[in-house]
Amino acid sequence: METNIQETHRLIRNRRSIYPNMYSGEVIKREVIQEILENANWAPTHKLTEPWRFSVFTGDGLKKLARFQADLYKDKAKGNFDQSQFDKLNTKPLLASHIISIGMKRDDNESIPEIEEVCAVACAVQNMYLTAGAYGLGCYWTTGGATYWDEAKQFFGLNSHDKLMGFLYLGVPKTKWPQGRRTPIADKVQWVEN
């Protein structure tokens, strides 16, 4: 397999979370979203369970997602209702070109530890992040909104034993690509050689 290793390093080291308020409003071409999804499908997966499940929202679909989350929040909030949270759930999705819900479909025989399936989905999301970055697109994985509400799972095609792992917001950045920050890897590694 031939690769340009320097370009691979650059792509990984320049991956960034670019938030919806930094998007230009331009709509990403469907073919690009399809490539992002295709690359997600090539994530590592134990016993080839391929546990990732995605729903793609764009156009009026973003409004449907926003309404669903805001209405579900209102139903669940009861006496703790916060109008600003409701408004945020109703408007934030509309800043994106596309939002992809991230689901983990649990293996039917459940012979694989759940953490392995969660990790496989996270690897799929990393592939999506890197592909978006290669296209110069803004990308942001959030676990806000309806992520932890069991009542939301059915809306995203998930069963009760599956997991909703958040939402990947995608958009064309209107600002300069942000610089990254990391502490040295040497601070996080222990070498055992003897």
Report if residue 91 sits inside a domain. Answer: yes
Question: DSSP secondary-structure letter at 109?
Answer: T
Report if residue 38 sits inside a domain. Answer: yes
Identify the pLDDT of residue 109. Answer: 67
| Residue at token pair 């998007």 | 23
Report if residue 80 sits inside a domain. Answer: yes
Report if residue 25 sits inside a domain. Answer: yes
Backbone phi, psi, residue 170, to 5°: -130, 140
Could you give the CA distance from residue 58 to residue 93 in angstroms, rounded to a whole number? 9
| Residue at token pair 């806000």 | 144
Share of the chain above pLDDT 70, in %: 99
For residue 9, give the 3-state DSSP assignment: helix
Report if residue 9 sits inside a domain. Answer: no
Q: Is 74 left (phi over 0), alpha (psi -120 to 50) or beta?
A: alpha
With a cut of 70, say whether residue 140 has pLDDT above it.
yes
Domain count, the chain: 1
Report if residue 164 sits inside a domain. Answer: yes
Report if residue 75 sits inside a domain. Answer: yes
Q: Is the pTM of this model over 0.85?
A: yes
Contact 166, 102 (CB under 8 A): yes
| Residue at token pair 């509309």 | 94
Could you give the CA distance from residue 29 to residue 51 in angstroms, rounded to a whole number? 26
Cα Rg of the chain (Å, integer): 18
* pLDDT tens sequence across 15-69: 999 999 999 999 999 999 999 999 999 999 999 999 999 999 999 999 999 999 9
Q: For residue 34, what are the domain limits? A: 15-174
Report if residue 185 sits inside a domain. Answer: no
CATH of the domain at 79: 3.40.109.10
